Amino acid sequence: MTLRSMTGFARHEGTFDGQEGQWRWYWELRSVNGKGLDIRFRMPSGFEAIDPD
């Protein structure tokens, strides 16, 4: 048997109770026939200070 495609998807959600209130977060992993690693971060406005770029 030959493997022809390597496509995958995963998502996880949660909440965090902090001093400023409750935060909801989630992360997603996607793979579509890629041989390399491409990492992308998307954050809501107001979080530019922690952006690595």
List own/partner pairs for 34-43 with CB under 8 A and 24 or more apart.
none
The pTM score is: 0.46
Q: Is the pLDDT of residue 2 over 80?
A: no
Residue type, position 51, single letter: D
pLDDT in tens, 17-51: 888 788 888 888 877 776 676 777 777 777 777 76
Domain ranges for the chain, please list them.
8-41
Which pLDDT band, with edges at 50, 70 and 90, does 16 fall under?
confident
- Answer yes or no: are the C-beta atoms of 39 and 51 closer than 8 Å: no
